[in-house]
Amino acid sequence: MAQVSFNTLQMVLVCGNYNSGKSVLAAKYFPGFKRVNHNEIRRFIKTMTEHGQDWSASDYDPEMEHLVKRIETVIIHHHLERHERVIIDNTCINRESRKKYLQEARARKLAIGCVFIDVPVSELLERNRKRTETERVPERILSMLHAKMELPSTEEGFDLVKIIRET
């Protein structure tokens, strides 16, 4: 079997807490991939349905998450049906939150990888305080997600896993 590298994968998850640098990493190392991100979908929905209003983290509405996830699924299917490579740029902080992506890849017989950016909660909170007020994530959310964090592994079903530890 050929050696698996991130360059050969059809699907890659870039995961970690808010403010960990997922989007920057995705843009830098996966420029040829089609990017899917929950916050971008939320921004689109608000801009479209509220006459151009900007979305911010304080606008998060758990009742909208079902719609966000349905749109995400349609976008992922669209790109995979066209044999385009997809990068999912979301928190996916634990096994349960990554399971649907693994199931999608396995159903299509695709190799899937995961890059997890592990940043200490103190650093996440510091980065968060430097963001503009509309970009800040409530600190309780950062702390709660950090407490629920489960690092990915190949035993989970990924073909390739890279954990980046930032201090």
Q: What is the pLDDT of residues 105-130, one digit of tens each?
A: 999 999 999 999 999 999 999 999 99
Give the β-pairing of 160-165 and 112-118. parallel
Domains in the chain and their CATH numbers? 6-34+85-165 (3.40.50.300)
pLDDT tens across 146-161, in order?
A: 999 999 999 999 999 9
Whether pTM > 0.85 for this model: the answer is yes
User: Distance between CA 114 and CA 136 in Å, rounded?
Assistant: 25
User: Distance between CA 140 and CA 158 in Å, rounded?
Assistant: 30
Distances (CA, A) of 73 to 37, 70, 98, 150: 11, 5, 13, 23
pLDDT tens across 57-79, in order?
A: 778 888 999 999 999 999 999 99
The arrangement of strands across the sheet holding 160-165 comes to 34-36, 86-89, 11-16, 112-118, 160-165
For residue 46, the model assigns a pLDDT of 92
